[in-house]
Amino acid sequence: MKIISNLCGEIYEKLTNNLAFFQEMLKITIQLESKSLDTEVEFYLQSVEQREKLIHEIDLENQAINVLLNKIAQRTGLKDFKFESVQAYIPEEQYENLTNLHVVTQKVILQIQDLDREYSQKIGLAKEATALSLHRISNINRQLKSYQRVDGHEARFIDKTK
């Protein structure tokens, strides 16, 4: 079935685009990992914004892939799409390309997830350290205030006998 092969070719193109987006996200994540949390706040915010744009692009590609998968399901009568289920409808080389692309994409996604997990731990530790510093400063300020004279009214006694 030439139509199924063409649809799988379009899916391959969309998956290739997704792989490029995921690789760009991995690059951003690696750059983010190498920066200091204390001094690179602006870079962090830009990185988050770039990643959100990439996620949006990936979502758009996935929506297009779902449309193609529905077309394949209508043509073949398959309820659940798996690469193995369309193997009989497409050339062996195309099947191998699809499965290899899927494996490579999954590896990139796992790398991103691992780096995100590490970075989240760093952020959590930095957050705790900041909270402790603020608590110490608050305690020091409270102690200093207790030694300072409070600007208030002093009690005065009026001697009415004079």
Structural domain includes residue 34: yes
Residues of the chain with pLDDT under 50: none
Q: 20-39 in b/e burial notation, b at 16+ Cβ within 10 A?
A: bbbbbbbebbeebeeeebee
Q: What is the pLDDT of residues 29-66, one digit of tens each?
A: 888 877 766 667 788 888 889 999 999 999 999 999 99
- Give me the domain span that covers residue 82: 2-146
Say how many domains are in the chain. 1
Tokens of 136: 């110490």
Structural domain includes residue 151: no
